[in-house]
Amino acid sequence: MQNLFKLIGKFGFVLLFILLEAIAFILVVRRSNYHRVIFSEATSEITGNFFKLYSNTRDYFKLRAENELLAEENARLRAEVQYSKSRFYTTNLEGINPIQAYTYIPCKVINNSTRYARNFFTIDAGKMHGIKPDMGVISPNGIAGVVRQVSDRFAVCISVLNTSFPVSVQLRKSKDYGSLEWDAVSPLYSTVKYIPTHVAIEPGDTLETSAYSSIYPEGIDVGVIESFTINPDDGYYIIKVRLTTRFTALRQVYAVDYHFRKEQDAIEDSIKNERQ
C-alpha cells in the first residue's frame, strides 16, 4: 500500500495529465455545444470589455480607411434609394401596406480571428441592443457571419470563415443557388459547391445571398468567382470565390433583424411535421 502511494507521489503528474487531457478532448469533441457549457455570459462580459478597450485604442489608427469604406457604402446606398424611389413612382402601390422586413443594428467587431478552421468574432452589442442568436451579420461590402451567443453587451458570432457554417448563396445573374463552404485555406477565398454544371458561369460573376436563407436578406454580396473546376464525383462545380468582405480588417458591421423569422420558421416547421 505504501508503495502504491509512493508510486502515485512519483507519477501523479501522469494521472493529472490524463485527467486534464481528457477534459480538453471532451471540449474539442463537444465544440458545437461549447458555448453553452463553458463560455458563460460572465466570461463573455470580461473578455468583451477587455477587447473593447483594445479595439477603441486601435480605432484611432484606422479611422481614415474606415471612413472611406463607409463613404463608399453611403454612395452605394444613395444610389439604391434613388433607384427604389423611381420604382415606387411607376408602380401602383394602392392597397399595399409596405411592411419593413429587416432592421439593421450597427455594431463594431472588437475581437476577430482568421487563422483557425473555425473562426469567431465578437461584436460590441448584445441583448441590450436587441441582438438575438441566429441574426445574420453583414459588413459594408458583404456577409460576415451569424450571431451565436449573446450576453448583455456583447455577442459572439460565427464567422463565414468557419468550416462548420455553410451559407446558401446564388449567382446574381441566373439565381442558381449553391452552398458557400469555407475550406480553411485562405481568409480571402472560399468555395461554392452544388451549382450544377449546366449553368453557365465565368470568372468575374458575382455571388450573393440567396432568398432561401432566413439569416440574410436576398442579394447581399458574397464574393466574385475567381476560378472553377468540375468535381468528377458528383458532377457539380467547385467554385473558388474571392470574398468581398475583408475578414482580416473587419470593423463596422450590421446585425440583421428579420422580423418575420418566427413566422417563417413556424410555417416551415408545420410542413416538416406533416411529412413525417
Residue 105 CB, nearest approach to another protein (Å): 22
- Does position 260 interact with another protein (CB under 8 A)? The reply is no
CB of 256 to another protein, least distance (A): 21
User: What one-letter code names the amino acid at 166?
Assistant: P
Subset of residues 48 to 67 that bind another protein, contact rule: CB under 8 A: 54
71 near another protein, judged by CB under 8 A: no
- Quick one: which of 248, 262, 265, 268 contacts another protein (CB under 8 A)? 248
E-state strands within the chain: 102-112, 118-123, 136-139, 142-150, 155-162, 167-171, 177-181, 189-196, 206-209, 221-230, 236-243, 252-258
Nearer to another protein, 23 or 200 (CB): 23
Phi, psi of 93 (to 5 degrees): -95, 5
**If you search the block for the grid coordinates 478597450, which residue do you land on?**
53
- Phi first, then psi, for residue 108 (nearest 5°) are -120, 145
Applying CB under 8 A, does 47 fall inside the site for another protein?
Answer: yes
Stretch that binds another protein, among 15-23, 95-103, 137-145, 235-243 (CB under 8 A): 15-23
Which 110-139 positions form the footprint of another protein (CB under 8 A)? 111, 113-118, 120
Residue from 53, 65, 185, 230 in contact with another protein (CB under 8 A):
185
Q: Decide if residue 17 touches another protein (CB under 8 A).
A: yes
The smaller minimum CB distance to another protein, of residues 39 and 236, is found at 39
How many chain residues are in contact with another protein, going by CB under 8 A?
38
Question: Is residue 235 part of the contact set for another protein (CB under 8 A)?
Answer: no
- Asked if 184 interacts with another protein (CB under 8 A), we say yes
Binding mask 23-42 for another protein (x = CB under 8 A): xxxxxxxxx--xx--xx---
One-letter amino acid for residue 198 of the chain: H
Look up residue 197 and give its three cell numbers.
454544371
As a whole number of Å, the end-to-end CA separation of the chain is: 61
Q: Phi then psi for 112, rounded to 5 degrees? A: -150, 145
- Stretch 139-178 residues interacting with another protein (CB under 8 A): 156, 163
Q: Which of 67, 35, 48, 26 lies closest to 133 in space, CA to CA? A: 35
Beta bridge partners of 147: 157
| Binding of another protein by 230 (CB under 8 A) | no
Q: Closest Cα to residue 169, out of 243, 257, 78? A: 243
- Dmax (CA) of the chain: 94
- Chain residues that interact with another protein, rule: CB under 8 A: 12-14, 16-17, 20-21, 23-31, 34-35, 38-39, 43, 47, 54, 111, 113-118, 120, 156, 163, 184-187, 248
